[in-house]
Amino acid sequence: MDDVRFPLNNKQAACNVHGHHTEILVTGFADKIFIVVTQYGRIGSLIKTTVDIAPHLASNPGAVPTTSQFLFGESTGSQSDLYMLYASSISQTIAAMNPHEQRPVILGIALKPVEDMAQQRQVFDQVIDKVMACPVW
């Protein structure tokens, strides 16, 4: 049984963003991609995102329309609006990297609230970069 490898593909990363340890875990299942992004060491909200059309059929796969829904956690308010943005952006960036990837993404996310828009943008850019450095697609 030595040639049978464990079927899940896991990739981990971590970085420090504005003094907060930020943990990234990406797990490739056969039918889904599971991504955890957290500054609290645990999952706060869960969002499921699907692409509305196959990305390779879209004129710009990186702008493919997506549909997201909260499965768990706060779903109203500015923090959850931000999480929806992360969810759709992550799915769109995956589509840009691999237009044939069609698995739904389950995102478990918990980020420290940040008031300043410029700082929010910095967190966003660093997190997206780190997630894209852990591809299972």
Partner 1 sequence: MVDNNEPQFIIHQDTQMYITDPIYFQLVQMNKSMFVWIGKQQPNMKDLSIAMPSFGSQSIPSVTTVLGQDISEQSRNLGRRLASKYHQQFFISLDIGNQDEMLVAFVEKKLSELIKKVLN
* Sequence-ordered list of residues with C-beta below 8 angstroms from that of 56, at least 6 positions apart, any chain: 99, 100
The residue behind tokens 């059929």 is: 57
Region of 40-48, 55-63, 74-82, 85-93 interacting with partner 1 (CB under 8 A): 40-48
Residue count at the site for partner 1 (CB under 8 A)? 31
Check residue 118 and give left, alpha or beta (phi > 0: left; psi -120 to 50: alpha). Answer: alpha
Alpha carbons 33 and 37: distance in angstroms, whole number: 13
Tell me if 16 contacts partner 1 by CB under 8 A: yes
Tell me if 67 contacts partner 1 by CB under 8 A: no
Beta bridge partners of 13: 24
Tell me if 10 contacts partner 1 by CB under 8 A: yes
Q: List interacting residues with partner 1 (CB under 8 A).
A: 1, 4, 6-8, 10, 12-16, 21, 23-25, 29-32, 34, 36, 38, 40-43, 46, 48, 71-72, 106
